[in-house]
A = this chain, B = another copy of it.
Amino acid sequence: MTEPTLDIVAIGNAIVDVISQAEDSFLAEEGLNKGSMQLLFTTEEAEALYAKMGPGVEASGGSAANTIAGIGALGGKTGFIGQVADDELGDVFRHDITALGVKFDTAARSGEPATARCLILVTPDGERTMNTFLGASQHLPASALDHELIESAAILYLEGYLWDPEEPRAAMDKAIDIARNAGRKVAFTLSDGFCVDRHRNGFLKLIEDGRIDILFANEDEIKSLQQTEDFDEAVEKTAARVPTLVVTRSEKGAIAVKDGERAEVAAEPIDRMVDATGAGDQFAAGFLHGQAQDKSVADSLAMGAVCAAEVIQHYGPRPEADTKALIAKRLG
């Protein structure tokens, strides 16, 4: 087996975020579930919500893409696989991820639908409510997978969100096989509590079949996965089935259980919560970069906490400050 030349390759939605401020009353009027992600299935639905929103700022997003961008900012060697359309937002997505040194070769898809966009409403408490039009992103075919790229990375990272549409689900399934056959590790994020509701059996089967080495979840997601309100029970049940489990808990920090051993980290202190978008994604970036650098689980958790704290103190889902320097300072 050859040594990996990249640290992490991710497969995820290739999305441009449209970030806008909104009052809680607007969420109520629109019947939106605060803090969650809902799918917009048609261009009409997406345009109708966009028309009602306030002015926005556009920034490249996508959960796994944010994580990969974060790892790129930390100096990790990374690649990304995801489907954009041959349009302006597709160009923006490609520019931003490659500008961070991420290898991204998935060809743009011509014609409709357009590049995916996520309409993000940030309420005054900094919480984000996401409304995703998957667009071209839902048409990532298994044939677009770059086998060599996947085989070249120590870890393959996948997002649960991409389990919704059929083509990318099949592509991720195949990618897991490619990675495992090459002796690589597979990391997976459950993405969202409602997403777990939609795909609980599929996610549990992945875990049962031993196809996931590192599982990321937050409190909602892990409880939804095990269908219990008891957090410790959910963690215990899940940790028994995956080599490494990482659970983020917002202001309560995060825990990890690796081969039965539990580690914890407190949340990093912050000045002000501005926009929660990207918190989980950047936690995963810090943790995965730590693991790729053979750091301890405790240090990897601390790296995740630093990256999450940075991203929630400004608008946008990817780091703006020098997270590498922040981590160096934190780890001493």
Which residues does A use to contact B, with CB under 8 Å? 18, 21, 50-51, 53-60, 69, 87-89, 92, 95-97, 99-100, 114, 314-316, 318, 320
Q: Which of A55, A92, A100 has the most C-beta atoms of chain B within 10 angstroms of its own C-beta?
A: A55
- In the complex, A56→B88 CA distance in Å? 14
Residues of chain B lying within 8 A (CB to CB) of residue A89: 88
> Which residue of chain B has its CB nearest to the CB of A316?
B57
- Residue from B59, B88, B97 in contact with A114 in the complex, judged by beta carbons closer than 8 Å: B88
> Which residue of chain B has its CB nearest to the CB of A59?
B57
- Residue from B57, B88, B114, B318 in contact with A55 in the complex, judged by beta carbons closer than 8 Å: B318
**CB–CB A95/B320 < 8 A:** no
- In the complex, A217→B56 CA distance in Å? 29
Q: Which of A21, A100, A320 has the most C-beta atoms of chain B within 10 angstroms of its own C-beta?
A: A320
Q: Which of A18, A21, A88, A96 has the most C-beta atoms of chain B within 10 angstroms of its own C-beta?
A: A88
**CB–CB B99/A53 < 8 A:** yes
Query: Could you list some 12 contacts between A and B, CB below 8 A?
Result: A21-B320, A53-B95, A55-B60, A55-B95, A55-B97, A55-B318, A56-B92, A56-B95, A57-B57, A58-B59, A58-B92, A87-B88
7 other A-B residue contacts (CB within 8 Å) besides A53-B95, A55-B95, A55-B97: A18-B92, A55-B69, A56-B95, A57-B59, A58-B92, A88-B89, A314-B315
> Whole-angstrom distance from the CB of A325 to the nearest CB of chain B?
13
> Whole-angstrom distance from the CB of A234 to the nearest CB of chain B?
36
> Whole-angstrom distance from the CB of A316 to the nearest CB of chain B?
6
- In the complex, A21→B316 CA distance in Å? 14
Residues of chain B lying within 8 A (CB to CB) of residue A114: 88
The 4 closest A-B pairs by CB, nearest first: A58-B58, A55-B96, A88-B88, A55-B99
> Whole-angstrom distance from the CB of A272 to the nearest CB of chain B?
11
**CB–CB A50/B95 < 8 A:** yes
Residues of chain B lying within 8 A (CB to CB) of residue A87: 88
> Whole-angstrom distance from the CB of A5 to the nearest CB of chain B?
23
- Residue from B57, B97, B100 in contact with A58 in the complex, judged by beta carbons closer than 8 Å: B57
> Which residue of chain B has its CB nearest to the CB of A51?
B95
> Whole-angstrom distance from the CB of A54 to the nearest CB of chain B?
5
- In the complex, A100→B21 CA distance in Å? 12
Residues of chain B lying within 8 A (CB to CB) of residue A100: 54-55
> Whole-angstrom distance from the CB of A61 to the nearest CB of chain B?
11
Q: Which of A53, A95, A314, A320 has the most C-beta atoms of chain B within 10 angstroms of its own C-beta?
A: A95
Residues of chain B lying within 8 A (CB to CB) of residue A95: 50-51, 53, 55-56
Q: Which of A21, A58, A60, A315 has the most C-beta atoms of chain B within 10 angstroms of its own C-beta?
A: A58
- In the complex, A50→B99 CA distance in Å? 10
> Which residue of chain B has its CB nearest to the CB of A55?
B96
